[in-house]
Amino acid sequence: MSIEINAASVKPWYARPRIVSTPEGFAQRLSQTRTKLQAAARYAPCVLASSLSVEDMVLFHLVAKGDLSIESFALDTGKLPAATLALWAEVEANYGRKLARVTPDAAELATLAAAQSDSAIYETKAARALCCDVRKTAPLRRQLAGKAAWVTGLRKAQSAGRASVPHQLWDAAFGLEKFNPLADWTDDDLWYFVDRENIPVSTLYNKGYASIGCDPCTRPIRFDEHPRAGRWWWEAAADTATGTSTECGIHVAASTN
């Protein structure tokens, strides 16, 4: 049996912005971001938690070029896309600056494997949340222990649930100061700066991906979908008009304390 597809009904995939002129107000937002990073660096020790997203690559670039006393690390969950691992190696080679690798606890991974299969994340939200906790939240908590501040790439424009992201707050969940220097940046701001500064980013952004996490939990999106619609897409969206409110748990706790 053949299946006919109406080409006119197939919507194109997301294509990341190509911005040729400076976005209005960008210079002020960039200056504010640099000021916030300098303020974060005065907390010792301060770390940048990177997922190698476009936001985190912009921050890594600014930290490196500003020679700021902010160490950077990324969580290697064991489920990262090949493109993310390739970018990791490229970043360290290009900048000559370490992006420390943080991994899940081996015993906790063994317990997780005994408790549920990899495919269980698609069956219940509890199973997916447990996987996120073991592979991301618990390693992050251990890495942040004893730190005075951390820097993240959260932006107001990323989702409805992040619309009130502040530039700085006390993170009661992890017990340290939290900085979000890109809080006010638009998508145009990000991609304009990436192209202007020739900042390396994941090749997946050229393949329909707008938000990138673990390989099993990330998919490309169509041009009219919310940027985070490709994350944990099988879980029910809280607001279908603006995309899923689902999070892995890293940032939710801090916003509700």
pLDDT tens for 191-249 read: 999 999 999 999 999 999 999 999 999 999 999 998 888 999 998 554 444 444 454 44
131 assigned to active site: no
User: What value, to the nearest 5°, has the Cα angle with vertex 246 and ends 206 and 182?
Assistant: 60
DSSP string covering 196-228, please?
HHT----GGGGTT-SS---GGGB---BTTS-GG
User: What value, to the nearest 5°, has the Cα angle with vertex 184 and ends 91 and 35?
Assistant: 70
Share of residues in the chain with pLDDT > 70 (%)? 86
pLDDT of residue 115: 97
Q: Where are the domains of the chain?
A: 22-206
3-state secondary structure of 31: helix
Question: Could you tell me how many helices (H) and strands (E) the chain has, helices first?
Answer: 8, 6
Alpha helices in the chain (DSSP H): 26-41, 54-65, 82-95, 106-115, 125-132, 138-144, 187-197, 252-255
pLDDT of residue 6: 57
pLDDT of residue 239: 44
Tell me the C-alpha distance between 80 and 217, whole Å.
Answer: 10
pLDDT tens string 150-198: 999 999 887 666 667 899 999 999 999 999 999 999 999 999 999 999 9
Q: Which of 46, 131, 132, 248 is catalytic?
A: 248
39 Cβ neighbours under 8 A, 6+ residues apart = 168, 179
pLDDT of 81 above 50? yes
Tell me the C-alpha distance between 8 and 137, whole Å.
Answer: 43
Tell me the C-alpha distance between 29 and 26, whole Å.
Answer: 5
CA torsion sign for 108, 204, 54, 251 is negative
pLDDT band at residue 106, thresholds of 50, 70 and 90? Answer: very high
Listed residue (16, 72, 22) closest to 47, CA to CA: 72
pLDDT of residue 193: 98
47 Cβ neighbours under 8 A, 6+ residues apart = 70, 71, 72, 73, 143, 144, 147, 149, 150, 151
3-state secondary structure of 200: coil
For the domain 22-206, what is the CATH code? 3.40.50.620
How many other β-carbons are positioned within 10 Å of the β-carbon of residue 149?
Answer: 22
79 Cβ neighbours under 8 A, 6+ residues apart = 135, 214, 215, 216, 217
Averaged pLDDT score across all residues of the chain = 89
Residue type, 40: A
Tell me the C-alpha distance between 133 and 115, whole Å.
Answer: 14
pLDDT of residue 157: 81
Listed residue (137, 114, 162, 143) closest to 46, CA to CA: 143
pLDDT of residue 1: 47
Q: Which residues pair with 151 in a beta bridge?
A: 48, 179
